[in-house]
């Protein structure tokens, strides 16, 4: 990849990190969308997305942990099998045409999430352990295969099933993403023995953009318009993957 293309990609990732963090999201689907629009290969997209997830999820996990929103009791059943299966998902590489379809569906799902109002359950009930373990296993495998970390599915599921409050769901999902992304990246590296060299500037862009967006988002930016803008980007990238 040329230096010029890396520079443009870094700027694009910075903007995505800024916008996502301004509305309280980590941005895994956004980074994948940007890399898709830049026509990166699945071999480049997956490890890069997992590495960026680790950076963003580490920051988010620490913030939610310090704020007291993380629940180990809610987290551990989902995490029990997700870690080994995320490693397996990272180790496996789907055929390119299947990878594109799966990622395209994930991006379209993300777009729908931005366009729908957030659910805030009035009361919560603890999920049964077998159900939570099974859900975590499936999401762990999917997160490793796609590079998304799994939080994009876990958060709405926790809220829809009334298993967690909004803050608790965000905290558990952040740590879930961190765990799965580390495992998935280890699995991917075990299979490929390769980490794209351009991850470093993208990582810096994500940290800086995320810090700026999270600061300004709570003060001056209009979250509804930002969510609609991000949804448009995700829809374009999703259909690009599915139809090409």
**Structure confidence by residue, pLDDT tens digits, 122-180:** 788 989 999 999 999 999 999 999 998 888 889 889 988 999 988 888 889 889 999 99
pTM across the whole model: 0.88
Enclosing domain of residue 137 = 3-243
* Rg value, the chain, Cα: 17
In this model, does residue 45 exceed pLDDT 90?
Answer: yes
Q: Which residue has the tokens 């310090």?
A: 66
How many structural domains comprise the chain?
1
Torsion of CA 42, 52, 22, 1, to 10 degrees: -60
Which three-class secondary structure state does DSSP give residue 198? coil
Helix H or strand E segment including 48: helix 42-67
Return the DSSP state at 162. Answer: T
Phi-psi region of 177 (alpha: psi -120 to 50; beta: other; left: phi over 0): alpha
**pLDDT score, position 69:** 86
Backbone angles phi, psi at 2, to 5 degrees: -70, 160
**pLDDT score, position 223:** 66
- List C-alpha distances in Å: 98 to 10, 103, 142, 242, 243: 27, 9, 13, 9, 12
Q: How far apart are CA 173 and CA 1, in angstroms?
A: 33
In this model, does residue 189 exceed pLDDT 90?
Answer: yes
Nearest to 28 by CA among 186, 237, 217: 237
* Cβ contact 140:187 at 8 Å: no
In this model, does residue 206 exceed pLDDT 70?
Answer: yes
In this model, does residue 14 exceed pLDDT 60?
Answer: yes
* Residue 101 burial by Cβ neighbours in a 10 Å radius (0-12, 13-18, 19+): middle
């Amino acid at each position: 990849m040329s230096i010029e293309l890396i520079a443009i990609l870094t700027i694009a990732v910075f903007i995505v990190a800024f916008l996502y963090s301004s509305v309280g999201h980590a941005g895994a689907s956004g980074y994948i969308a940007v890399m898709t629009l830049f026509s990166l290969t699945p071999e480049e997209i997956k490890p890069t997305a997992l590495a960026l997830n680790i950076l963003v999820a580490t920051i988010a996990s620490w913030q939610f942990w310090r704020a007291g929103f993380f629940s180990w009791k809610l987290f551990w059943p989902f995490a029990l099998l997700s870690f080994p299966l995320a490693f397996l998902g990272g180790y496996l590489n789907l055929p390119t045409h299947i990878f594109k379809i799966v990622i395209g569906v994930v991006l379209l799902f993300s777009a729908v999430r931005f366009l729908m109002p957030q659910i805030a359950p009035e009361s919560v009930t603890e999920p049964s352990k077998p159900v939570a373990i099974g859900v975590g296993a499936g999401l762990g495998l999917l997160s490793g295969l796609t590079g998304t970390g799994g939080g994009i599915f876990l958060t709405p599921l926790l809220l829809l099933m009334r298993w967690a409050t909004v803050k608790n769901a965000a905290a558990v999902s952040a740590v879930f993403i961190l765990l799965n992304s580390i495992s998935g990246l280890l699995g991917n590296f075990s299979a490929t023995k390769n980490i794209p060299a351009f991850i470093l500037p993208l990582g810096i862009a994500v940290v800086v953009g995320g810090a700026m967006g999270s600061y300004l988002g709570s003060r001056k930016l209009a979250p509804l318009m930002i969510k609609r803008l991000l949804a448009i980007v995700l829809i374009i990238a999703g259909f690009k993957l599915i139809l090409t």
